[in-house]
Structure 1
């Protein structure tokens, strides 16, 4: 099972379509963690499980979602409601409440893969305005046999190897 995760695309359209086209054959699912700044239900988001962020002003975006993908429970949120720029502990507690194995979030524009106890946190960075690095990034998580491989890619689909990590559940 392989899931591709994007966030903070802030109005980009062609890039979202290119990512889904590039990885269509290998993806089990696509997730967008908010701040797309696109209308809810638009064609560019149709391939994604998505939530709204603090820059998504349409009221009809879900603020968070819990999705089971091939037996793995994903909690998806933008992160602004959980103070993720300061700490992951609020997000951790919410993940425990919903029984999530993997948390996908954005908001900080900082690419991150980290495990806290039995919860894997993934922030794919930003497709438009990255922080703490020059690469505009998105991520994938491949989960097989209780092992999770998180890989980051630049906007052109080239792997950013020093960001990738492997975790066990």
Structure 2
């Protein structure tokens, strides 16, 4: 039997701008997670043309379409529990007690992959308008046989 493997594209802080380079970087994934500050519902529609999308509302997402999105959510993939939220500072519970394996967040526009207290934290950075000198990026999360591996993909040339 072949090992089970799922590829998840992670994007955040599009702020209404979905770059062609981000679409190319996410092409071929099995699922897309948007960690908030989407900007407009058409972004989610365009991402859904690539793969099924799971999203949360960011602090800059407003209107009826945004009100339908939760501020946070749990996702179960295989034996892993993923907690999705826009701003890490909004987490008000113990992640290990909640058996969270991976936290996906945005907000800071700073790409990050690190493990703290056996919890993997992923921030794909911003895929929308450039902020300061921060890179334009997305992340890919590959889960093979229940083991997660993540990487940041810079989608701009600068």
| Both structures adopt the same fold (TM-score exceeding 0.5) | yes
* 8 Å Cα contact 2:19-2:127 kept in structure 1: no
- Given candidates 54, 58, 75, the residue that maps to 2:59 is 54
Unaligned 5+ segments in structure 1 are 85-89, 159-169
Asked if the contact 2:18–2:43 (Cα under 8 Å) also holds between the matched residues in 1, the reply is: no
Calculate the aligned-residue CA RMSD, in Å. 2.8
Check 1:122–1:48 CA distance in 2 against 1; reply closer, same or farther (3 A cut). Answer: same
**Residue matched to 2:89:** 83
> TM-score, structure 1 length as denominator?
0.72
Compute the displacement of 1:149 (Å).
Answer: 2.3
Paired residue secondary structure (1:96): coil
Aligned equivalents of 1:131, 1:95: Cα separation in 2: 30
Q: What's the CA shift string for 1:61-96, capped at 9, x where partnerless?
A: 2101111123321111101xx427xxxxx46x3533
Give the stretch that moved more between structures: 62-71 or 146-155: 146-155
Are 1:110 and 1:130, in contact at CA under 8 Å, matched by a contact in 2?
no
Count, aligned residues: 146
Is the 1:15–1:155 contact (alpha carbons within 8 Å) kept by the matching residues of 2? Answer: no
Runs of 5+ unmatched residues, structure 2 = 1-5
State the distance in 1 between where 2:61 and 2:155 align. Answer: 22
For normalisation by structure 2, the TM-score amounts to 0.76
- Name the SS of the counterpart of 1:53 in structure 2: coil
Aligned equivalent of 1:69, options 36, 54, 77: 77
